[in-house]
């Protein structure tokens, strides 16, 4: 059996920016072991697999080591493949996922994802986390993930974490670590962030759509406005346009094709 495979740079304006995801359209599910092996072989932060279901699609995401509960950039990449390569032309796409129904629409040259918001609440400093980061954050907040808020964007850019220590600390939380700060005065962005996920097999994720379920409600309240433009300041970097919609977060980005291939099992 030969199956197509696309690699897409999500949250990107050009190749080698944003977060690369593999997208595999299927007519029916492969065994879980095969999908996990393919994700490990691709060795990207996420490989997305989807099958038609009713008027929409059933979507699943795999890191190189585990099946993910929620992934933004691979959902964005899947939407791009459907609209750009597979002839999908309905005004919206409905995905059934482990995190419930996710809706994606086209807005000009961007794709807009309707994701569940995660209300961040203050939490005590996890033991050893500031030492693992090398700089002490101003505050920690908790959703399903952990977010450390810093005083300046430069502090976020300068972080050089001890990933082995981060993995030991974050594994009991089963969480990724979002580090974030308000952007500099006069910047075109409202806030910046980075995301570390060594407990999930990824030291630093280039641009993490699902992290904005946590950071957008926080910064919308902090900055007093619902519409925000964020920059993930990883080495690859990527821009995310966001809206705080109460119990939902709208997360927007562009996609760029990197390659199209096929594999045989």
Catalytic residues: 46
Q: Are 212 and 240 in contact (CB under 8 A)?
A: yes
Residues 6+ apart with CB under 8 A from 29: 35, 49, 51
Furthest-apart CA atoms within the chain: distance in Å: 55
Which run of H or of E encompasses 155? helix 153-158
Closest to 250 in 3D by CA, of 147, 90, 111? 111
d(CA 219, CA 227): 10
Length of the chain: 265
Structure tokens at 213: 């379920």
Helix, strand or coil, per DSSP, at residue 163: helix
């Amino acid at each position: 059996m030969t199956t197509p495979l696309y690699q897409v740079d999500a949250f990107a304006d050009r190749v080698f920016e944003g977060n690369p995801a593999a997208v595999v359209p299927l007519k029916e599910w492969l065994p879980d072991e095969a999908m996990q092996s393919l994700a490990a072989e691709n060795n990207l932060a996420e490989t997305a697999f989807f099958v038609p279901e009713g008027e929409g699609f059933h979507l699943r995401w795999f890191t190189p080591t585990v099946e993910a509960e929620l992934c933004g950039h691979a959902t964005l990449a899947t939407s791009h493949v459907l609209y750009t390569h597979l002839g999908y032309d309905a005004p919206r796409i409905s995905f059934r996922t482990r995190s419930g129904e996710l809706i994606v629409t086209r807005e000009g040259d961007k794709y807009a994802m309707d994701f569940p918001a995660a209300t961040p609440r203050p939490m005590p400093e996890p033991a050893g986390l500031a030492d693992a980061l090398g700089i002490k954050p101003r505050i920690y907040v908790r959703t399903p993930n952990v977010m450390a808020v810093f005083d300046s964007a430069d502090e976020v850019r300068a972080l050089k974490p001890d990933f082995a220590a981060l993995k030991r600390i974050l594994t009991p939380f089963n969480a990724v670590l979002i580090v974030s700060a308000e952007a500099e005065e006069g910047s075109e962005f409202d806030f910046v962030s980075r995301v570390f996920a060594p407990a999930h097999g990824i030291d630093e994720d280039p641009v993490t759509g699902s992290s904005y379920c946590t950071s957008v409600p926080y910064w919308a309240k902090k900055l007093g406005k619902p519409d925000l433009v964020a920059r993930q300041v990883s080495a690859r970097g990527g821009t995310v346009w966001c809206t705080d919609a109460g119990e939902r977060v709208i997360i927007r980005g562009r996609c760029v094709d990197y390659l199209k291939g096929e594999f045989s099992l």
